[in-house]
C-alpha cells in the first residue's frame, strides 16, 4: 500500500493542467447531476434512472472511436431499455425531472472514465491526474455551492460551529478521496468498461440497501425493471469483454502470422542470396580456369 502513495509533491503545470479540464468538467457534472437526481428520486430507483450508461457507452464508442455494436450487444441494450421503461412505469414516486438528471448523469458517467484513461495514458502518472482533477473540481464546485446551497448554509449556520459536524465532514472527505484514488487506479489497471461494470454492481447493492434503510415501497414493475436493467447491464459487459478477448486473440494470431511470414521471407532471401553467391563463385572459378588455360597455350 505504501508503494502506491505519491513519491513527490505536485504543483500546477500550465503545460499539463489545462488538458485535464475536460475530464474535470465531466467529473463535476457527474457528481452534481447524480446528487440532483437523488434529490428527486428514491434511492431504490436511482440505478434505474442512471441505467442508460451502457447505451451511451455504445453510442459514444461509435461516434468517437468508430466501434460498431454487434448483434448480441445490441440485444443487451434492448433489454436495458425495456428494464428502464418497466422501472419508470413501476415507480410510485416517479419524478420526470429526477429521471432527466439521471439520464444526463449517465452520459457523464461514460465520458469521465474515458477522458480519465486518456489523460493517464498521456501523463503516465495517476497521481498527477488526481491532483489536476481535484484542483479543478475544487474551483468548479465553489461557485456551484454558492449558487445552490447559500440558503441552506444560512439556515443551518449554527452547525458550522459544531465540532461533530466537521468531524463527519472530514470522514466523508477522506472516504471520498479513497474512492477517487481507487477509481483512478482501477481505470489504470483495467478499462472504462470494467469501471462501469463495477459501478453497476455497486448500484445494485445501493438500491437494495437504500430500499431497506428508507423503507421504500416497491412495486412488481419496479423490482422487475431494476432487475432487468442490472441483468442487461451485466450481459452487456459480458458481451463486450468477450468481443475484446476475441479481438485480442485475433490480433495476436495476426501478429504471429505476420512474424512467421516475415521469418520465412527472411529465410527465402538468405537462401536466394546464398544461391546467387554460389552461382557467382562458380562463374568466377570457371573464368579463372579459362584464363589460366589460355595463358598456358600462348606460352607454348
How many angstroms separate the CA atoms of 229 and 223, rounded? 10
**C-alpha cell belonging to residue 99:** 429521471
pLDDT value at residue 237 = 82
CA atoms within 13 A on the CB side of 142: 5
pLDDT value at residue 56 = 87
Give pLDDT tens digits along the chain (300 positions). Answer: 455 667 788 899 999 999 999 999 999 999 999 888 988 988 878 878 878 888 888 888 788 767 788 899 899 999 999 999 998 888 888 888 999 999 999 899 888 988 888 898 899 888 899 999 999 999 999 998 888 888 888 998 888 899 999 999 999 989 888 888 888 887 777 777 677 777 777 777 777 787 788 888 888 888 898 889 888 888 888 888 888 888 888 766 555 555 555 556 555 555 655 555 565 555 544 554 544 444 433 332
What is this structure's pTM?
0.72
What string of DSSP letters covers 127-187? HHHHHHHHHHHHHHHHHHHHHHSHHHHHHTGGGGG-HHHHHHHHHHHHHHHHHHHHHHHHH
CB 52 within 8 A of CB 80: yes
- How far lies 217's CA from each of 44, 45, 120, 240, in Å? 9, 11, 43, 35
**Nearest of 236, 241, 239, 240 to residue 83 by alpha carbon:** 236
pLDDT value at residue 215 = 82
Length of the chain: 300
pLDDT value at residue 79 = 93
**Nearest of 62, 53, 44 to residue 218 by alpha carbon:** 44
Amino acid at each position: 500500500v505504501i508503494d502506491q502513495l505519491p513519491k513527490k509533491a505536485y504543483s500546477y503545470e500550465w503545460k499539463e493542467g489545462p488538458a485535464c479540464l475536460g475530464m474535470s468538467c465531466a467529473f463535476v457534472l457527474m457528481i452534481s447531476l447524480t446528487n440532483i437526481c437523488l434529490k428527486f428520486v428514491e434511492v431504490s430507483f436511482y440505478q434505474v434512472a442512471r441505467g442508460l450508461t451502457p447505451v451511451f457507452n455504445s453510442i459514444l464508442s461509435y461516434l468517437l472511436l468508430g466501434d460498431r455494436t454487434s448483434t448480441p450487444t445490441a440485444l443487451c441494450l434492448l433489454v436495458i431499455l425495456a428494464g428502464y421503461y418497466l422501472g419508470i412505469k413501476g415507480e410510485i414516486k416517479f419524478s420526470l425531472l429526477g429521471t432527466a438528471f439521471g439520464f444526463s448523469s449517465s452520459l457523464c458517467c461514460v465520458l469521465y472514465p474515458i477522458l480519465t484513461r486518456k489523460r493517464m495514458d498521456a501523463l503516465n502518472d495517476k497521481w498527477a491526474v488526481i491532483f489536476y482533477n481535484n484542483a479543478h473540481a475544487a474551483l468548479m464546485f465553489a461557485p456551484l455551492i454558492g449558487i445552490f446551497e447559500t440558503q441552506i448554509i444560512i439556515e443551518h449556520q449554527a452547525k458550522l460551529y459544531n465540532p461533530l459536524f466537521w468531524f463527519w465532514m472530514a470522514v466523508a472527505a477522506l472516504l471520498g478521496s479513497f474512492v477517487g484514488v481507487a477509481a483512478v487506479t482501477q481505470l489504470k489497471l483495467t478499462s472504462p468498461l470494467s469501471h462501469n461494470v463495477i459501478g453497476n454492481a455497486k448500484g445494485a447493492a445501493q438500491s437494495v440497501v437504500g430500499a431497506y434503510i428508507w423503507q421504500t415501497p416497491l412495486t412488481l414493475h419496479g423490482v422487475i425493471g431494476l432487475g432487468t436493467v442490472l441483468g442487461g447491464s451485466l450481459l452487456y459487459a459480458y458481451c463486450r469483454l468477450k468481443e475484446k478477448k476475441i479481438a485480442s486473440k485475433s490480433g495476436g494470431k495476426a501478429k504471429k502470422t505476420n512474424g512467421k511470414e516475415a521469418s520465412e521471407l527472411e529465410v527465402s532471401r538468405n537462401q536466394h542470396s546464398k544461391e546467387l553467391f554460389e552461382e557467382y563463385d562458380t562463374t568466377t572459378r570457371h573464368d579463372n580456369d579459362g584464363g589460366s588455360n589460355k595463358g598456358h597455350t600462348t606460352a607454348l
